[in-house]
Structure 1
Amino acid sequence: MIKQILGRLPKKPSKSSEHRESGGSSAPSSNASTSSRSNDLASNSAMDLDHTPLSVPNSASNLGYGEGSKFPQIGQLKLNGNSVVPSYEALPGFRDVPSSEKQNLLIRKMNLCCVMFDFTDPTKNLKEKDIKRQTLLEIVDYLTSANGKFTETLMQEVIKMVSVNLFRPLIPQPRENKVLESFDLEEEDPLMDPAWPHLQIVYEFLLRFVASPETDAKLAKRYVDHSFVLKLLDLFDSEDPREREYLKTILHRIYGKFMVHRPFIRKAINNIFFRFIFETEKHNGIAELLEVLGSIINGFALPLKEEHKLFLVRALIPLHKPKSLPMYHQPLSYCIAQFVEKDCKLADTIIRGLLKYWPITNSSKEVMFLSELEEVLEATQPPEFQRCMVPLFRQIARCLSSSHFQVAERALYLWNNDHIENLIRINRKVILPIVFPALEKNGRNHWNQVVQSLTLNVRKLFSDIDPELFEECLHKFQEDEAKLEEMKTKHDATWKRLEDIAATKVSSSEAVLVPCAIPAQMLSS
């Protein structure tokens, strides 16, 4: 349903990203798209109501809007356990009050929406929940059509209402002790927050508030501050993918609008990655954070700051280590490719980083690494390629020799890339001796017919480019094979001699033991 409400950020943002390091701003949503989202919210009364309930407490004391802050009161309204007193009534519509009173009515409606309800029991407070939902829809619609800059008082009330509703503890749900692996999680149905009928509209309200041209960034930064951003980032660990999708878009807008917060946001995301890589290896929002970063990296000014290069080395490259890599590999690969396109001299650093974290026993991850490697090599220039080609093609040779056909096949497909083939062609005198044994053994013995066919194509390519070098490598391979065969024969002969000696020793020891057995029998008799 979330796709009907707001456009998703692209998995691969275009190079014309609006967030330039020198002062980019997020693209404001058009009035038409804003209006259509409002209509979707208002018309779809049954929106996402039928989801498996989560055990997420909605206690006012756990909402976390400021240390020691009081829960908002509307007259005599309050929470009594899980019920609300009957005085929770809808306020008049904006059309029913004069223009001078509309802002005060908006504040009263936002205060009304600060009352929280328990969605774990779908039978409780149905009337009050519907009143709150309709009130939220009204203030979203009012925000969309508002004219004139938002006052500081209004901004304060907006952030208070948003904070009370969104900033709540995220309780992870048990998954029957399953290991955090991509193939496990992909088979699981995502866990949906039962409070989403209200949360969705609050997120839409926050998104429109941040994106609105009537929101003055200089004034709003007092309330959309570091504490607010940190709490927003904490919500990325939500198990509800709809919530993470909204958070991704909102963070993207905040980064574009509040330039003063940009270094802090990058540092906070960096810390989330560190905790994920080196401590927990569990976080639901890594993919969404990387999608936001893809757009941010796309807008970095040149030459790249040292801070950005350190982020690449210390956070992005180590993200290849966790077992859950398949869950976020696509946006991670895009971020890595962006760095190479920005500064081709980083290719050597990135390739050596990939080799450092190269999987040994996980074939599916190896295929991912090979795909990412192709993207990096496509943007790599000859000087950087020559620095790392020896360790790189030693690893590729191991992949060519893999008994897993997908690994060997993906490694052979590197030769189908014109740029990579040209790099190999230029440096064939170094590369061919490294990969030739793997190619020769594949062509003779590999069990998969496709791998054999691709191998023969690569062998023919080398043979056509440089016949003399090919024959030289073939001759050396045959000599090495003959030496190995000779050595194997010697080893077999040595083992045979050892076995004969051992057999002789056993026979002689049995002959010595027989006379000793006679006195023992005589003694027993």
Structure 2
Amino acid sequence: MFKKMMKSGSRKPSRNDAGFDPNSTNMVVNHASRPSPLPPPSPTTTKQPPPMNSIEPLPLLRDLPPPERQPLFLRKLQICSFHFDFTDSSKNAREKEIKRQTLLELVDYIQSGTTAKIISELCQEEMVKMISSNIFRSLPASAGCWPADAEEDEPYLDPNWPHLQLVYELLIRYVVPSDTDTKIAKRFIDHSFVSNLLELFETEDPRERDYLKTILHRIYGKFMVHRPFIRKGINNIFYRFVYETERHSGIGELLEIMGSIINGFALPMKEEHKLFLIRALIPLHKPKPIGVYHQQLAYCVVQFVEKDYRLADTVIRGLLKFWPVTNCTKEVLFLGELEEVLEATQPVEFQRCMVPLFQRVARCLNSSHFQVAERSLFLWNSEHIVVLIAQNRSVILPIIFASLEKNTESHWNLAVHGLSENIKRMFMEMDPELFEECQQEYEEKQSKSKEVEEQRQSRWRRLDEAVEERERVVGEEDHMIIS
């Protein structure tokens, strides 16, 4: 039987022997267990070429017949595995250019057709090894630090970028295409590879983080087996950032990925996802550099509330827990996020948290920082929020009336003064009786407060007089002793 199989195998012509076009549309995709055969002496496998000790130019892949491209592809991968020092532009200039041109050719070659059609499983494995050897490296000691001013300071630019960019382009061309065989690719794009990708998000180079964001997002979408691992890895980065270091350059990019992931969560939402909101996203409001990533964070949080309105109370109470006390810029961000959350909040959830919420809003209304006061007054610009407030005005108006009254009496900013007047007028038209009750209660409190203040001042005056009298008596006694 074995001899018959061998004879029949020897009579079967090879597609490569007859020649083929890599860009042909009627090409049959090879299975992982049967890579494209090469001419004798190795008709069924592509062998790894011997290691290269130096970089020399090689022929172009397109200039060779298809059967000879696979070994040449492997040799070009070896060229691309060499590393150079880019801090000195004059050093190894020739070798750097050869590597750059080789990377450009490989990117074009992979892009020219289906990966499974043009390169074997061994070539895919070696390509991922080459990519790993280039991008997985030690980052500078300052990696993960926030710049003094993220908007004004020049971003850090990695000197290795001329080669790194092409390596990332090659990885994208391998991961992104819909016809990439994930059963083969997941052997090389494994958990270790994904973990190393996550660690690279600490790089200070925004160009590299942008590539990483795209690649990780594509891996999450294509390799379902990696999805729980990726979510857990991002979770751990957030934990370390919030509770240990408060230093990481890629929080914004990771939150962008999570925003897309959250958008795809199915309902009813899993308990794992709710815990991610409570234990990771809400505590991310605590670190000082929140301004760098707040836009992406707010999007993630609002996505949760829009998907499950019952989470609104949890989110609002979480915001109140981490509400800034002395950072006015951060307070403005919180108020903007609060408005978005309230617009997705239903009446039942609103009633659960409205008392502590508007106690905080009342303090913001009286802030001496006009942007905080103005932003809190802008909550009444939302029709949905006004409806919620109107339905619960008997609870809310008594909480905020004093703040509105103080703004109209003494706030230094004219815009805050005018907005406060408009909101008072809105409540007056909404419920005149309630407004009158609050007005009377406010006046009574002010009168009592004035009486208490007068009594306090009177006690201080009596105390001052007693001190003066005692000092006078002691002075007379000292004078008698001296004389």
- TM-score band by shorter chain is 0.7 to 0.9
Q: Which of 109, 113, 116 is 2:83 aligned to?
A: 116
- The separation in 1 between residues aligned to 2:454 and 2:64, in whole angstroms, is 100
| 1:125 maps to 2:92 | yes
User: Which amino acid in 1 is paired with 2:79?
Assistant: L
- The separation in 2 between residues aligned to 1:157 and 1:444, in whole angstroms, is 74
The match for 2:69 is 102
The match for 1:157 is 126
| 1:470 maps to 2:439 | no
The match for 1:321 is 286
User: Which amino acid in 2 is paired with 1:130?
Assistant: E
- Equivalent residues of 2:209, 2:253 under 8 A apart: yes
| 1:292 maps to 2:261 | no
CA deviations 1:19-64 (Å, max 9, x no partner) are: xxxxxxxxxxxx9xxxxxxxxxxxxxxxxxxxxxxxxxxxxxxxxx
User: Which amino acid in 2 is paired with 1:126?
Assistant: A
The match for 1:171 is 140
Q: CA deviation at 1:103?
A: 2.1
- The separation in 2 between residues aligned to 1:278 and 1:187, in whole angstroms, is 28
- Equivalent residues of 2:110, 2:173 under 8 A apart: yes
SS where residue 237 of structure 1 aligns?
coil
| 1:484 maps to 2:449 | yes
The match for 2:475 is 510
- The separation in 2 between residues aligned to 1:148 and 1:123, in whole angstroms, is 36
User: Equivalences for 1:51-450 in 2 at 5 Å?
Assistant: 75-77=51-53, 87-147=54-114, 149=116, 150-173=119-142, 180=146, 184-450=149-415
Q: CA deviation at 1:91?
A: 1.0
The match for 1:60 is none
Seen in structure 2, the aligned counterparts of structure 1 residues 300 and 174 have a Cα distance that, compared at 3 Å, is closer
- Equivalent residues of 2:115, 2:180 under 8 A apart: no
- The separation in 2 between residues aligned to 1:426 and 1:190, in whole angstroms, is 49
Q: CA deviation at 1:151?
A: 3.2
SS where residue 410 of structure 1 aligns?
helix
CA deviations 1:240-274 (Å, max 9, x no partner) are: 00000000000000000000110000000000000
CA deviations 1:169-223 (Å, max 9, x no partner) are: 0013499xxx947x62322100101110100000010011001234211221111
- Equivalent residues of 1:286, 1:328 under 8 A apart: yes
- Equivalent residues of 1:221, 1:258 under 8 A apart: yes
The match for 1:21 is none
- Equivalent residues of 2:51, 2:78 under 8 A apart: no
Q: Structure 1 unaligned segments of length 5 or more: list them.
A: 1-30, 32-71, 78-86, 519-525
The 10-residue stretch of structure 1 (210-219 or 396-405) with the greater mean CA deviation from structure 2: 210-219
Query: TM-score, normalised on structure 1?
Result: 0.81
Identical-residue share of aligned pairs (%): 59
SS where residue 480 of structure 1 aligns?
helix
Q: CA deviation at 1:460?
A: 0.3
Q: Per chain length, whose mean CA-contact separation is higher, i.e. which structure has more relative contact order (CA < 8 Å, sep 6+)?
A: 1
Question: What stretches of structure 1 move > 6 A for 4+ residues in a row?
Answer: none
- The separation in 1 between residues aligned to 2:86 and 2:171, in whole angstroms, is 21
Q: CA deviation at 1:277?
A: 0.5
SS where residue 90 of structure 1 aligns?
coil
Seen in structure 2, the aligned counterparts of structure 1 residues 148 and 112 have a Cα distance that, compared at 3 Å, is closer
- Equivalent residues of 1:226, 1:261 under 8 A apart: yes
- Equivalent residues of 1:91, 1:109 under 8 A apart: yes
Q: Which of 436, 449, 459 is 1:494 aligned to?
A: 459
SS where residue 140 of structure 2 aligns?
coil
Q: CA deviation at 1:73?
A: 9.2
The match for 2:17 is none
User: Which amino acid in 1 is paired with 2:457?
Assistant: D
The 10-residue stretch of structure 1 (136-145 or 149-158) with the greater mean CA deviation from structure 2: 149-158
- The separation in 2 between residues aligned to 1:148 and 1:495, in whole angstroms, is 87
Q: CA deviation at 1:147?
A: 3.7
CA deviations 1:139-193 (Å, max 9, x no partner) are: 1001011246253212211110100110000013499xxx947x62322100101
Seen in structure 2, the aligned counterparts of structure 1 residues 235 and 148 have a Cα distance that, compared at 3 Å, is closer
Seen in structure 2, the aligned counterparts of structure 1 residues 302 and 420 have a Cα distance that, compared at 3 Å, is same
- Equivalent residues of 1:277, 1:319 under 8 A apart: yes
- The separation in 1 between residues aligned to 2:414 and 2:95, in whole angstroms, is 67
CA deviations 1:331-377 (Å, max 9, x no partner) are: 00000000001100000000000000000000000000000000000
Seen in structure 2, the aligned counterparts of structure 1 residues 219 and 440 have a Cα distance that, compared at 3 Å, is same
- The separation in 1 between residues aligned to 2:396 and 2:378, in whole angstroms, is 16
- The separation in 2 between residues aligned to 1:180 and 1:456, in whole angstroms, is 42
- The separation in 2 between residues aligned to 1:389 and 1:257, in whole angstroms, is 43
- The separation in 2 between residues aligned to 1:438 and 1:153, in whole angstroms, is 71
- Equivalent residues of 2:317, 2:353 under 8 A apart: yes
Q: CA deviation at 1:287?
A: 0.2
User: Which amino acid in 1 is paired with 2:454?
Assistant: T
Q: CA deviation at 1:74?
A: 6.3
User: Which amino acid in 2 is paired with 1:302?
Assistant: L
Name the count of aligned residue pairs. 435
SS where residue 184 of structure 1 aligns?
coil
The match for 2:16 is none
- The separation in 2 between residues aligned to 1:293 and 1:492, in whole angstroms, is 58
Q: Structure 2 unaligned segments of length 5 or more: list them.
A: 1-22, 24-47
CA deviations 1:261-306 (Å, max 9, x no partner) are: 1000000000000010011100000000000110000000101000
